[in-house]
Homo-oligomer: A and B are copies of this chain.
Amino acid sequence: MKQLLVILVLLSTQIYAQDRDEKQIKALYHQALTEGSAYGWLQHLSTKIGGRLSGSIQAQQAVDYTKSLLDNMGLDKVWLQPVKVPKWVRGTPEFAYIESAPGITNNVAIRALGGSVATPFGGLKAEVIEVQSIEALKGLGRERIEGKIVFFNRAMDPGLIDTFQAYSGCADQRYSGAAEAGKYGAVGVIVRSLNLRLDDFPHTGAMSYGNTPVAERIPAAAISTNGAELLSTTLKLNPSIKLYFKQNCKNLPDVDSYNVIGEIKGSTHPEEIIVVGGHLDSWDLGDGSHDDGAGCVQSMEVLRLFKATGYRPKRTIRVVLFMNEENGLRGGTAYAKEAFAKKERHIFALESDSGGFTPRGFTIDANQKNYEQIVSWKNLFEPYLIHLFQKGYGGADIGPLKDDRIVLAGLRPDTQRYFDHHHSDNDTFEHVNQRELHLGAATMASLVYLIDTYGIK
């Protein structure tokens, strides 16, 4: 009899918990869809401030704006965490053309890669050698590369369902192409934009010269996919055509900047910290709406949703808007450094940095037990069409927090349109849909709610 009673009590507790969780998650989604603030915040960030590369005036404006939003949310604490960031400036607009014969030219759209040096003042004109990979440089050797512009033209694989996988398969050309081609005497590098679509937008992004001495660094630029197709075809017709390009970008000394942080103190386990975040910096092209204005406003929205639904977290919920993800990761690194130094106990960190599209689920970086704990909540997400609970990468900014206890996760929105916009003039506010953005925020809030309620076991 006593046993039966225990079973009944346990069962009713479980039913009660399931019911309570369903109700709270429903309240979060309903609040986000009917009274969400993220879209309005993003409109300001994107259209009133715009692209906000680390060290720029816009980046500082973004710090000020988001701090003022957090200041007005009734959080328990809001602060700025100082961080030194690199400063690179694009300078005057880039210019490039294909010269198929003396005096016969076709302009092509290029943008300097982030971190690249300038061309000589009058620009750079040279023959072009097309390759599909860094490895191919070796086969060609210095003889066929020296004095030329190396054109990396490997396209993203359209056959992959996950476009981030297609991106990963090509990003090395952009990141290391100049350092590697320089070793063979190349005078410049042009990289096919990481875009699955054929269009006229060049897509910039981080590059590194590694340990190449300053004097030996060669300029690197992204060419639009249409431009890459034209250049490749022109080369097939006549391998001795030339490419001209001119850019006057510049690396400047590091400057002061900040991570923007706010938190709700946990009611019963304040020492256990849950981080939700995105990165506040963006490239200078477009206005950084998808990358990663979306992630920032969604992360702030998670805290607002808790407040608006009257949910009082047990654990400390901290929103972190990281500075300098794009070209240095200084914000993420500094945040983790201080957290470790202060022996703060971070149990979970969730990043949104894959665009503001319809959420599909999460990638989860955790041990098997904790992964299964999260998967056990899958049915709670089903009414919201959240179905993806996949082992994988959490996010760049939260990566430095990794230790053997923390669970890291990344929001996974639909990826099909993302690289139409990423790092280009085409990453602008009108390409974000309000409902999709708000569904993402509610999805994040729901997982944070569950982790807050049950802890990480």
Contacts and interface: CB of A to CB of B under 8 A. Distances in A.
Interface of A: 29-30, 33-34, 158-161, 163, 196-197, 358, 360, 383-385, 387-388, 414, 416-417, 420, 433-436, 439
Given A414-B358, A417-B433, A161 B383 contact: yes
A417 B388 contact: no
Contacts of A30: 159
A91 to B, nearest CB: 32
A435 B159 CA distance: 10
Of the candidates A34, A158, A160, the one having the most CB atoms from chain B within 10 angstroms of its own CB is A158
Given A358-B414, A358-B416, A414-B414, A385 B161 contact: yes
27 contacts: A29-B161, A30-B159, A33-B159, A33-B160, A33-B161, A34-B159, A158-B435, A161-B383, A161-B384, A161-B385, A163-B435, A196-B435, A197-B434, A358-B358, A358-B414, A360-B385, A385-B387, A385-B388, A387-B387, A414-B414, A416-B433, A416-B435, A416-B436, A416-B439, A417-B433, A417-B435, A417-B436
A411 to B, nearest CB: 15
Copies in the complex: 2
A159 B434 CA distance: 13
A433 B418 CA distance: 11
Given A33-B158, A387-B387, 12 more contacts: A30-B159, A33-B159, A33-B160, A34-B158, A158-B435, A196-B435, A358-B358, A358-B414, A358-B416, A385-B387, A385-B388, A417-B435
Contacts of A384: 161
Contacts of A196: 435
Nearest to A412: B385
- Which 4 pairs of residues, A with B, have the shortest CB-CB distance? A387-B387, A416-B435, A30-B159, A416-B436
Nearest to A31: B159
A388 B388 CA distance: 12
Nearest to A442: B161
Nearest to A382: B387
A49 to B, nearest CB: 23
Nearest to A26: B159
A360 B433 CA distance: 18
